[in-house]
Amino acid sequence: MIATEHIINIDKPMDWTSFDVVRKVRNTTKIKKVGHAGTLDPFATGVLIIITGKNTKRQSEFMELPKTYHAEIVFGNKTDTGDRTGTIVESSPVPELSEAIILEALAEFKGEIQQIPPMYSAKKVNGQKLYTLARKGQVVDRKPSLVTIYDIQLTSWSSDQVNIRVNCSRGTYIRVLAEDIAQKLGTLAHVKELQRTAIGDYRIEDALSIPEFIEKWKSSTV
């Protein structure tokens, strides 16, 4: 049964914004207080914690939990968004790679690192969301943020792409990490696929798709 004071683990669909999921849950349940604990980019999929009722007061608690992502990074082209939805703004040859070279580069990102938030992000500068400015063609100075990469593993690779699993802190941008990894390897990159597989103990294996959530809600209110 799904209660009005529930914490719901949703598998966010591709091309939905995180607020699209909040809106769907709110419209389905008629619960007034509905929020989420950690934005996912529209092109990304995976674990999105939806909080309702009094649990919305616990938003920061959930946002502080470590997050795990699986990312497919393609080398050679940089896009304005840092992912496959953007426009290619720069290209670069891809050097000959080996597993040893890739692992050496990945190892440099373990621990605390500095990241400059991307223009296409929900982070605010002077009260304005960066993606709003980016869509107007504006680029503003952004202060680097300190984030922590608890673990980064290579799951597969080819001559022009890598697949990695990253366990990281709040505020980590995988798109920025991909570009920084590419820079270490002497090339450019963007993220082709991104899935958040866990937030703390909330895992993708237990997440509900939108149709599953709707069905479960309907059955719990009969």
Active-site amino acid positions = 41
Nearest to 7 by CA among 31, 40, 43: 31
Count of C-beta atoms within a 10 Å radius of residue 141: 6
28: left (phi over 0), alpha (psi -120 to 50) or beta: alpha
Helices (H), 58-127: 59-63, 99-107
CA gap 18, 24 in Å, rounded: 10
Helices (H), 34-136: 59-63, 99-107, 130-135
Torsion of CA 65, 67, 45, 11, to 10 degrees: -50
- Tell how far CA 63 is from the center of its chain: 12
Count of C-beta atoms within a 10 Å radius of residue 99: 11
CA gap 214, 192 in Å, rounded: 29
Handedness of CA 28, 29, 31, 37 (dihedral sign): negative
